[in-house]
Amino acid sequence: MSSLSWEYNQLTLVNLEDKPAAFFKALIRASSTAIVITDALQGDNPIAWVNPAFEALSGYALAEVIGRNCRFLQNGDAGQPELAGLREAVAAGRSHTCTLRNYRKDGDLFWSRMHVFPLKNDQRRIVNFAAFLEDVSGAVRAQAQVTSARERLTTVLESISDGFFSLDREWRFTYINRKGADWLRRPAGELLGKVIWDAFPQAVGGPFYETYRCAFDSQDYASCESYYEPLGVWLEARAYPSSEGLAVFFADISERKKAEARLVHMATHDSMTGLHNRFSCLRALDECLAMDSMVGVLFIDLDHFKEVNDAHGHRAGDVALREIGRRLATFGNGETTVSRISGDEFVIVQANASAEKAKALAASVLQRMAEPIAVDELKVTVGASIGIALGKAREHTADELLNNADAAMYAAKDNGRHTFSVFSPQSAQMIKERLKLRQEVFSALERRQFVLFYQPQISAANGAVVGAEALLRWDHPRLGVIAPGAFLSMLEDSPAITAVGAWVCEEACRQAREWELLGYRLQMAVNVSARQLADENLPPLLKSLAARYGLDTGCIKLEVTESMLTQDIGKAAAVLRSLQAEGFRIALDDFGTGYSNLSYLRQFPITAIKIDRSFVQEIEEDRRCLDIVNGVIAFAKSLKLSVICEGIETEAQACAIRSTECDVLQGYLIGKPMPASEFQALLLAQSATPQQAAPGCGQPDAENG
């Protein structure tokens, strides 16, 4: 077969040689390769003929190029190094291949790969030169990019702080920078040419192995983060596949992991005591119920804790809370989660519980709680009432168990306090009482039982009262003045919150106008509920209220929390932008708690931030808190945001905050929430000179920074 094939090929060649010139001209004309034929017998080697492919490539017609030297294609770009080699080859009558910058008739640059060779007559004399031109612009640009990238890479890879190595398609090291070699604790020379899995067999099957395999198999970018035991650090690996193999960058993310852990801890733990917070408590309870075993819930409420605050001050109360948290934390283990869910309420979730185990735990807690707590030179004793509820997932939800334990806790208080009680039908009666309160709260607005208290906000610069935060209270006919913690959650779960919120806005505006008529133009801060923040009717309501009472919209500041913003980001952003367009101010409350997503400052029209009280209260004991406050303030100022510090309760805290660039101070040291009449007396007690009477709205030290 091969013999016949060879004979056939030879016969074909002979037949081709016998073909007429027209046959070859037709082939040249039909070729998709641009072909140029010059006349070597004339001076300057002019073009004698070009095929249609050349016309298409260059934009020149045959008639336009006949008689011209090919140099016109360079359009004056005569400094190209490869032109010299081309001229030498033509002068010597030999073949030559080069890549040149050529220009089309319209002036556009294109790169051509040109193969030139001489054509001889029967006397072996060169009569023509033929040139095949291929447009290689794309390849040249790509090569230039690769060359430039490699040059930059060579410079960068040895100076970057990341580790880097490259692998060929057989998993062999082809390059590793100094940092990478140091991190892997192997000399570069020892690794080059070696298969990575032979050099590091312990990595096989691990996250880095899976990531590299994924990048190779999918031919797409892949990354992973994992703790790298040999180095004792967290590393982020980023693998980029290519036709040559794999490029891998390493970054030491240990500090970032620590920061993330701190953020997660802040989001799931109470800043005062270090215990789990309400969110973490509910998560632990759900996890225990999911195991379908008996779960115990101990609801702990401190007895007479308010008396500690009243008699010794909030600082003493904080010291006591931290000590209580430390004691309760000792009961935490693999089956027990200890949480602080509100001011003086704690919850212990016990997995694999029984009535006996829950009671024994409660007795141990009461014993520890009975021990005196040292506060400065004093000894204070804080008792506790504990409610116990037990149940399984098929019987109770997490909320039901918490409510049952809460009801049992009230039964323990009724039994003399500093004792525990297990949930029973009698405890259920306590729930009924709370339900009664829930029913009453919905008619409280109609019965005009809601009132507003006002907490003063003062200028850090001169101590003048420049604003007030309006705080809702329920003046209950039987129970007296009730703080919102006892009833607000009931309202927020119902449409009634909209009507109550509208009343709060109107009453705050009415009171602001009343004080303005007395010569005190203050900035009135109003807390907005999550439901209001998603209500497109809020902006027109506030606009109409400001117009009705003749208030500058800049004198009304709406306080929102991060948790509200996350419930419906789209609606919240639309409502806040509408409010900002009308001139209302927007403050982000409790800044520094939770995740404090900085992107919210970009997504939402925030004009002020309110640094959470937890940072202020720790300033005296922990210098880092002041550093954090300074950093937050500097960041806020860079965004032209004003800053309010709340929770100031001691002169030392006030002095520390005044040393910063904070604009406004708020806290019990400045003044507790008080009825409008007491607040007005506070205003009248200060000088009514213009610099003190009017810095609340539109003044640099109040809101414009």
pLDDT band at 700 (very low <50, low <70, confident <90, very high): very low
d(CA 54, CA 61) in angstroms, rounded, equals 9
CA of residue 356 relative to chain centroid, distance: 46
**C-alpha dihedral over 538, 539, 540, 545, to 10 degrees?**
90
Domain boundary among 384, 416, 440: 440
Decide the pairing of beta strands 523-527 and 465-476.
parallel
Tell me the mean pLDDT in the region 603-626.
84
Which range marks the domain in which residue 230 is found?
Answer: 158-252
- 256 pLDDT more than 50: yes
Residues 429 and 454 grouped into a single domain: no
Tell me the per-residue pLDDT of 286-334, one tens digit each, with 9 for 90 and over. Answer: 888 888 789 999 999 998 787 777 667 778 888 889 999 999 999 988 8
Tell me the per-residue pLDDT of 352-390, one tens digit each, with 9 for 90 and over. Answer: 999 999 999 999 999 998 898 888 777 888 889 999 999
- 41 pLDDT more than 80: yes
Residues 287 and 246 grouped into a single domain: no
DSSP 318-352: HHHHHHHHHHHHTT-BTTEEEEEEETTEEEEEESS
Residues 465 and 332 grouped into a single domain: no
- 611 falls within a domain: yes
For the ranges 206-210, 234-238, 409-413, the lowest mean pLDDT is seen at: 409-413
How far, CA to CA in Å, does 496 sit from each of 327, 449, 536? 41, 14, 16
d(CA 678, CA 231) in angstroms, rounded, equals 63
Name the residue type at position 59: G
Which of the two residues, 489 and 31, has the higher pLDDT score? 31
d(CA 405, CA 349) in angstroms, rounded, equals 11
Residues 79 and 190 grouped into a single domain: no
> Backbone phi, then psi, for 640, in 5-degree steps?
60, 40
In terms of Cβ atoms closer than 10 Å to its own Cβ (0-12, 13-18, 19+), residue 188 is middle
Decide the pairing of beta strands 245-252 and 233-242.
antiparallel
- 526 falls within a domain: yes
Residues 579 and 667 grouped into a single domain: yes
- 460 pLDDT more than 70: yes
Domain count, the chain: 4
How much of the chain exceeds pLDDT 70, in percent? 91
- 639 pLDDT more than 90: no
- 228 pLDDT more than 80: no
Tell me the per-residue pLDDT of 192-218, one tens digit each, with 9 for 90 and over. Answer: 999 999 998 888 888 999 999 999 999
Task: Let me know: does 408 contact 387? Beta carbons within 8 Å.
Answer: yes
Whole-number pLDDT of residue 692: 39
Whole-number pLDDT of residue 427: 60
Instruction: Give which of 513, 598, 590 is closest to 550, Cα–Cα.
Output: 513
Residues 549 and 691 grouped into a single domain: yes
Whole-number pLDDT of residue 689: 45
pLDDT band at 698 (very low <50, low <70, confident <90, very high): low
* Contact residues for 392 (Cβ-Cβ < 8 A; gap 6+): 289, 292, 293, 294, 295
- 359 falls within a domain: yes
Which of the two residues, 231 and 647, has the higher pLDDT score? 647
Tell me the per-residue pLDDT of 510-563, one tens digit each, with 9 for 90 and over. Answer: 999 999 999 999 999 999 988 888 889 999 999 999 999 999 999 999 999 876
Three-state secondary structure readout of 567-622: HCHHHHHHHHHHHHHCCCEEEEEEECECCCCCCHHHHCCCCEEEECHHHHHCCCCC
Whole-number pLDDT of residue 315: 82
Whole-number pLDDT of residue 12: 53
Q: Sheet containing 233-242: which strands, arranged edge to edge?
A: 173-176, 163-168, 245-252, 233-242, 222-228
Tell me the mean pLDDT in the region 571-600.
82
Residues 94 and 205 grouped into a single domain: no
Tell me the mean pLDDT in the region 325-350.
91
Evaluated on CA atoms 486, 492, 496, 498, the torsion sign reads positive
Tell me the mean pLDDT in the region 105-124.
92
On average, the pLDDT of the chain sits at 86
Which of the two residues, 482 and 703, has the higher pLDDT score? 482
Decide the pairing of beta strands 34-39 and 642-645.
unpaired
CATH code of residue 519: 3.20.20.450
Decide the pairing of beta strands 222-228 and 233-242.
antiparallel
Look up residue 357 and give its two tokens.
């185990």
Which of the two residues, 343 and 670, has the higher pLDDT score? 670
- 241 falls within a domain: yes
Residues 320 and 368 grouped into a single domain: yes
Residues 244 and 287 grouped into a single domain: no
Task: Let me know: does 380 contact 372? Beta carbons within 8 Å.
Answer: yes
- 693 pLDDT more than 50: no
* Contact residues for 206 (Cβ-Cβ < 8 A; gap 6+): 226
- In the numeric block, the tokens 């852990």 are attached to 261
Instruction: Give which of 452, 502, 496, 449 is closest to 477, Cα–Cα.
Output: 449
Residues 127 and 246 grouped into a single domain: no
Domain boundary among 89, 104, 137: 137
- In the numeric block, the tokens 């801060």 are attached to 525
How far, CA to CA in Å, does 501 sit from each of 251, 483, 494, 508, 510? 50, 16, 12, 11, 14
* Contact residues for 110 (Cβ-Cβ < 8 A; gap 6+): 57, 102, 103, 104, 135, 137
Domain boundary among 83, 108, 137: 137
Name the residue type at position 265: H
Residues 435 and 399 grouped into a single domain: yes
Look up residue 430 and give its two tokens.
């306590």
- 14 falls within a domain: no
pLDDT band at 425 (very low <50, low <70, confident <90, very high): low
For the ranges 10-19, 96-105, 229-238, 314-323, the lowest mean pLDDT is seen at: 10-19
- 687 falls within a domain: yes
> Backbone phi, then psi, for 100, in 5-degree steps?
-130, 155
- 145 falls within a domain: no
Look up residue 136 and give its two tokens.
């290689």
CATH code of residue 108: 3.30.450.20
Instruction: Give which of 229, 224, 250 is closest to 166, Cα–Cα.
Output: 250
> Backbone phi, then psi, for 519, in 5-degree steps?
100, 10
d(CA 140, CA 135) in angstroms, rounded, equals 10
d(CA 217, CA 635) in angstroms, rounded, equals 44
- 21 falls within a domain: no
* Contact residues for 118 (Cβ-Cβ < 8 A; gap 6+): 40, 93, 94, 95, 126, 128, 129
Residues 307 and 361 grouped into a single domain: yes
